[in-house]
């Protein structure tokens, strides 16, 4: 569904360079482009959204998504530390997935993100066993924008722990590169909505030679990289054994720059921040995952003060347990205030920029999305504020972040096309997801030789 769209008389949060919020504002969309933003816009539009009691954001940008983990929600025990969590549960489950299970997991994850206002995302760790082409096709059909990270590895380890990866997830470097090249040729840049990136497994699972090969290919193709980094103390012990900090390690291998998005960054130091800031490298903050797994609180305010482009991600269902960026923004705000012992450490407007234009910048798409401005593509999320948890409407933007959830989203538009309209997702088959998810989750537990834990 596409056409001329007018959103009128809403609170419009632009996320532009002036942090402009327009009360009683309107947005006019034609041919997928924002052609006017302001007050009292008059137009004969095919679709009109009455903005009374509505807050309008740029489409949210989730910079760390595990598509394979949507179906793992509730399958993994709550109170497990990261290495055990991976080795004993998540990797056996993912290593036992069939293409059908991955298909539904992907659709479930896309459905939740669309429902909660996310328009663009960075997907990580897409393994060969998942049928990469089918996964990308599902993303494309959803109407969302995505940088999709093909997993690359040549050692089945994690940090300083060799040979612990589940056999079902092991693939050799040549296989990884062959699939990446095929997917790059078929999908990269398609309709300015799909980009093929690399997703190396963490250092310790990738040789220095393979990292250099990835960096060379990124430069050649103009693609990107997403990778977990400095998530737990074990990671730092690995880098210390190499005589370097994470940032110095990656810089020496040519693995920093624009379109490099490193995930978590809980244990980065000031030298790492300086390297990332100077090179344009981004860090994806994932507060729910870091909290649930007891990994620590990322030094977000310090990163921002040191010039690092900070974005936000949800991670996956077993560590979050949702893909809702509104809920994620609230936790990120609260944790930084607690971590800094300062209620003024970070503001709602800071967090909105992190979840919109900063995310778009990290993906290299900030020139046409990430803010509501004339001339940009129409990637817009509309939230209903007429609900008990969101009134009185004195400070609607703050209320949405601190009191709302992504399910307050009524409409999501990407490239001028409705992905969610009047509370209903129109690009993913909800009934198929609901009908198949339970059966396939049970099948997956059996295949992985695991049982329900609660």
**Domain spanning 5-58+378-422 has what CATH number?**
2.30.40.10
pTM value surpassing 0.95: yes
**311 strand-pairing partners:** 284
Contact by Cβ (8 Å): 325, 118? yes
Contact by Cβ (8 Å): 405, 113? no
Q: pLDDT at residue 26 above 90? A: yes
Q: What percent of the chain has pLDDT above 70?
A: 98
What pLDDT does 165 receive? Answer: 82
Contact by Cβ (8 Å): 78, 297? no
Contact by Cβ (8 Å): 297, 266? yes
What pLDDT does 453 receive? Answer: 86
What pLDDT does 202 receive? Answer: 86
Q: What percent of the chain has pLDDT above 90?
A: 91
Residue range 83-130, pLDDT digits in tens: 889 999 999 999 999 999 999 999 999 999 999 999 999 999 999 999
What pLDDT does 263 receive? Answer: 98
**310 strand-pairing partners:** 283
Cα angle: 140, vertex 144, 150; to 5 degrees: 60
Alpha helices in 321-429 (DSSP H): 325-340, 348-354, 357-363, 396-403
CA distance 143 to 124: 18
Domain boundaries, the chain: 5-58+378-422, 60-363
CA distance 335 to 315: 17
Largest CA distance in the chain: 65
Do 60-363 and 5-58+378-422 have the same topology in CATH?
Answer: no
**198 strand-pairing partners:** 150, 225
DSSP H/E element including 451: none
CA distance 64 to 77: 21
Residue range 382-425, pLDDT digits in tens: 999 999 999 999 999 999 999 999 999 999 999 999 999 999 99
**151 strand-pairing partners:** 199
Q: Which of 344, 335, 324 is nearest to 406 (CA)?
A: 324
CB atoms inside a 10 Å sphere around CB 1: 13
Name the strands in the sheet holding 309-312, side by side, starting at the edge strand that comes first in the sequence: 60-65, 118-126, 145-152, 194-200, 225-229, 260-264, 282-285, 309-312
122 vs 20, 27, 84, 200, CA distance in Å?
27, 27, 25, 14
Residue range 351-389, pLDDT digits in tens: 999 999 999 999 999 999 999 999 999 999 999 999 999
Alpha helices in 116-196 (DSSP H): 132-142, 173-187
- Give the architecture-level CATH label for domain 60-363: Alpha-Beta Barrel (3.20)
Query: What confidence category does residue 227 fall into, taking pLDDT thresholds of 50, 70 and 90?
Result: very high
Residue range 134-180, pLDDT digits in tens: 999 999 999 999 999 999 999 886 656 666 788 889 999 999 999 99
CA distance 24 to 281: 37
SS3 343: coil
Q: pLDDT at residue 1 above 60? A: no
288 vs 185, 235, 238, CA distance in Å?
35, 19, 24
SS3 74: coil
Residue range 187-220, pLDDT digits in tens: 999 999 999 999 999 888 899 999 999 999 999 9
Q: How many residues does the chain have?
A: 454
Question: In degrees rounded to 5, what are phi and psi of residue 317?
Answer: -65, -35
């Amino acid at each position: 569904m596409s056409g001329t769209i007018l959103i009128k008389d809403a609170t419009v949060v632009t996320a532009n360079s002036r942090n402009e919020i327009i009360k009683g504002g309107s947005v006019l969309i034609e041919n997928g482009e924002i052609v006017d933003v302001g007050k009292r816009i008059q137009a004969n539009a095919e679709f009109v959204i009455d903005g009374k009691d509505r807050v309008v954001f740029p489409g949210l940008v989730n910079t760390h998504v595990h598509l394979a983990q949507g179906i793992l929600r509730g399958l993994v025990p709550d109170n497990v530390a990261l290495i055990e969590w991976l080795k004993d549960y998540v990797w056996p489950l993912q290593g036992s997935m069939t293409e059908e299970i991955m298909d539904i997991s992907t659709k479930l994850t896309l459905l939740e993100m669309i429902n909660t206002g996310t328009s663009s995302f960075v997907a990580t760790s897409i393994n060969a066993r998942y049928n990469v082409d089918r996964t990308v096709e599902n993303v494309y059909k959803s109407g969302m924008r995505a940088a999709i990270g093909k997993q690359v590895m040549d050692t089945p380890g994690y940090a300083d722990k060799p040979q612990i990866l589940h056999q079902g997830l092991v693939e050799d470097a040549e296989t990884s590169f062959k699939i990446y090249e095929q997917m790059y040729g078929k999908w990269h840049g398609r309709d300015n909505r799909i980009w093929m990136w690399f997703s190396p497994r963490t250092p310790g699972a990738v040789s220095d030679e393979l990292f250099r090969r990835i960096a060379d290919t990124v430069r050649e193709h103009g693609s990107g990289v997403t990778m977990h980094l400095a998530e737990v103390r074990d990671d730092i012990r690995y880098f210390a054994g190499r005589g370097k900090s994470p940032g110095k390690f990656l810089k020496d291998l040519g693995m920093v720059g624009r379109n490099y998005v490193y995930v978590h960054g809980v244990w980065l130091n000031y030298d790492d921040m300086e390297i990332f800031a100077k090179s344009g490298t981004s860090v994806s903050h994932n507060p729910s995952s870091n909290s649930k797994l007891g990994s620590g609180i990322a030094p977000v305010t310090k990163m921002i003060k040191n010039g690092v482009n900070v974005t936000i991600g949800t991670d996956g269902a077993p560590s979050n347990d949702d893909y809702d960026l509104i809920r994620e923004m609230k936790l990120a705000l609260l944790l930084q205030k607690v971590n800094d012992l300062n209620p003024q450490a970070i503001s709602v407007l800071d967090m909105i920029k992190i979840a919109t234009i900063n995310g778009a910048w990290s993906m290299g798409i900030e020139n046409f999305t990430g803010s509501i401005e004339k001339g940009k593509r129409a990637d817009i999320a509309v939230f209903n504020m007429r609900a008990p948890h969101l009134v009185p409407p004195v400070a609607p933007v703050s209320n949405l972040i601190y009191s709302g959830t992504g399910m307050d989203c009524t409409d999501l538009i990407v490239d001028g096309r409705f992905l969610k309209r009047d509370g209903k997702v129109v690009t993913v088959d909800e009934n198929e997801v609901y009908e198949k998810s339970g059966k396939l989750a049970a099948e997956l537990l059996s295949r992985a030789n695991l049982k329900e834990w609660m």
